Homo-oligomer: A and B are copies of this chain.
């Protein structure tokens, strides 16, 4: 059986002009700022005018811990959005933008798959509407102004060794991780150790995604701590006077992008913060706008539910005043089998026992989600080759926990494959069953917040943090940052901090290696393991195969 590739399917799509997609949500052509014929930004004025309207229901799509088998979270988000529209509901989806850098490394593609995709796929994997370029510019303007301030006399007395604000590029470039800048003598400034992160790791990205409007954006940008004096007093972006110009650079980028699914349903694609050192969700502005315009809004969060859903609720929902009405946990039979100990090469063979052995990972996520007071339903994202017995084993397991697992075939069938899921999700959302609550209150001490997540979500016995880290947290509390939520950065492959520990481990320890204050974004990053903020290219980068073919079409990007 020969399958069409994602890009073949995407190119066969009957795209509608973006104005028709906007019209489905009541956005007139004058309120859409077009970027080509198939992409548009929704104007800030229009968004402002929606303020008084009733909100739709928010549905989060999350997943089990990712495995190399793939789970299809974005694909299911798109499929569910199409499914809701297919059963007559007014629904929109909200997903993240793709980073340009990784497209030239391993693979592109952050727009779903099969018959559950968002288009135009090529643009979304390249420059799209320029948001990430604007973030890169805003970030690097601040960087340039910091070194410029030091160059011209350093009135703020910034300690050259304590500048924590790096530069960014939307590129996988390991050579830029650690650099020394300002070499070459007097005209080039004072040499110092510096470095580059990839743009999605920029605090500016996290800020853009958490800001309600341009005034909020500027306030948060101003709060960024760029470094310290010799006496360790913080210096902010506002001290450098960069916040105004950065806001100007981000003015257009703050407006959410509207595109469409293969089935011509509206999709907001906006923002893309890292899911480790940031919260990994699309923008608050896009989500809130979608909620004003649609009755159901389907969105997703990065990585598995232990990281993505936890941050979605404890950071994004808390900060933006949002509350999900239903949560979908995506699982695949293949991933269950890998959690049950099967190697990737052997996934083709039926193995019911492995499914059963792997299910506790899913069970743990269901339990965790319920602890937020939100009803959860499992979507089994069907793969060619899943057997009926395997599917039944998974469904029985979920039922034994008092939940339900619905088989979905959106990859092969589009919205027809998710009608059952959509129907059930709409019922749950409409039922008012959800009693959303965050996991911890704002005023809980920072260390206790970390422990709460580690024990209640990761099921660890203890958090290991040395005195230096505990002192740092206390210092931030004294400086007035104690009410911030924590943003956990750990491996996405396990509930624990050991990526090889699949299933549903407990009794483990969570070692905290480092804590970082993102005073602009408004969270404290808790680093529990290696995190990479500037990726490298592989031995044979996919860029070598990316080119225009004779018909002018892009080859090799997907």
**A contacts, CB < 8 Å to B:** 33-37, 44, 100, 104, 126-127, 130, 133-134, 136-137, 140-141, 143-145, 147-148, 151-153, 167, 169-184, 187-189, 193-194, 214, 218, 241-245, 247-249, 251-252, 536-537, 539, 541, 543-548, 552, 554, 556-557
Contact = CB atoms under 8 A, between A and B. Distances in A.
Contact of A137 (B100, B152, B179): B100
Given A179-B183, A245-B543, 8 more contacts: A130-B133, A133-B133, A140-B169, A140-B171, A143-B175, A145-B537, A148-B174, A178-B184
Contacts of A548: 214, 218, 244, 247-248, 251
A152 to B, nearest CB: 5
B536 A148 contact: yes
Contacts of A141: 104, 171, 543
A241 B545 CA distance: 8
A181 B179 contact: yes
A238 to B, nearest CB: 11
Total copies of this chain within the assembly:
2
B104 A557 contact: no
Contacts of A170: 137
Given A34-B36, A181-B175, A547 B140 contact: no
Contacts of A178: 182-184, 188
Nearest to A545: B244
B537 A144 contact: yes
Nearest to A189: B175
A213 to B, nearest CB: 10
Contacts of A140: 169, 171, 173
Nearest to A539: B152
A173 B147 contact: yes
B34 A248 contact: no
A178 B191 CA distance: 10
Given A34-B37, A179-B179, A180-B180, A144 B126 contact: no
A363 to B, nearest CB: 37
A175 B144 contact: yes
B173 A144 contact: yes
B145 A174 contact: no
Contacts of A245: 104, 543-544, 546-547, 556
Contacts of A249: 126-127
B187 A547 contact: no
Contacts of A252: 127
Contacts of A127: 130, 133-134, 137, 249, 252
B171 A137 contact: yes
- Of all A-B residue pairs in the complex, the 7 with the closest CB atoms, nearest first, are A244-B547, A178-B184, A133-B133, A147-B175, A144-B173, A245-B543, A245-B546
A130 to B, nearest CB: 4
A554 B134 contact: no
7 contacts: A33-B36, A152-B539, A175-B194, A183-B193, A214-B548, A244-B543, A247-B547
A37 B141 CA distance: 28
B171 A176 contact: no
A468 to B, nearest CB: 22
A548 B219 CA distance: 12
Nearest to A147: B175
Nearest to A133: B133
Contact of A174 (B100, B169, B189, B194): B189
Contact of A34 (B34, B174, B214): B34
A133 B194 CA distance: 23
- Find the residue from A137, A145, A552 having the highest chain B CB count within 10 A: A137
Given A148-B541, A174-B189, A179-B180, A244 B536 contact: no
A188 B177 contact: yes
A214 to B, nearest CB: 6
A543 B242 contact: yes
A505 to B, nearest CB: 28
Contacts of A539: 152-153
A127 to B, nearest CB: 6
A42 to B, nearest CB: 13
Contacts of A175: 143-144, 147-148, 151, 181-182, 188-189, 194
A101 to B, nearest CB: 8
Contact of A537 (B148, B182, B194, B552): B148
